[in-house]
Amino acid sequence: MSDELEHKHEVEVKQREGRQKLPDDVKDILKEGGMMDEKGKLKLKGVSPKMLKKMKQEYVECPVLKSDIHFVQCFVCKNFQSRVMGKVLCKGDPL
């Protein structure tokens, strides 16, 4: 299929109970990109508050960083291609 996005990894999106805390370095990146205000409230374009609440409870086992990361961190990563049926398509480039 030529219309498929180029990706190296299909990473399953997993759920966690309760909210997860975003690492400070990730918060800084989000603020720089205008995706978080000064108070630490996420503002992702095209993402509803309901979806954002759900995203805050999700994580992925990142194949590039070799650790579990917050889904929001994955969503704003340059390797993020798309999310399809509970999986993330990741380019897998070194960060």
DSSP reduced 3-state for 85: coil
What pLDDT was estimated at residue 47? 87
pLDDT value at position 89? 96
Amino acid at 32: E
User: pLDDT-based confidence at 95, cuts 50/70/90?
Assistant: confident
Burial status of residue 24 (CB atoms within 10 A of its CB: 0-12, 13-18, 19 or more): exposed
The pLDDT tens digits of the residues spanning 28-61 come to 988 998 999 988 888 888 888 898 888 889 999 9
Give the pLDDT score at 3.
56
Question: Per-domain residue ranges for the chain?
Answer: 9-90
Q: Can you give the pLDDT at residue 45?
A: 84
Tokens of 74: 């994955």
> pTM of the predicted model, to two decimals?
0.83
Distance from C-alpha of 22 to C-alpha of 11, rounded to nearest angstrom? 19
Instruction: Tell me how far apart the alpha carbons of residues 80 and 43 are, in angstroms, rounded to a whole number.
Output: 18
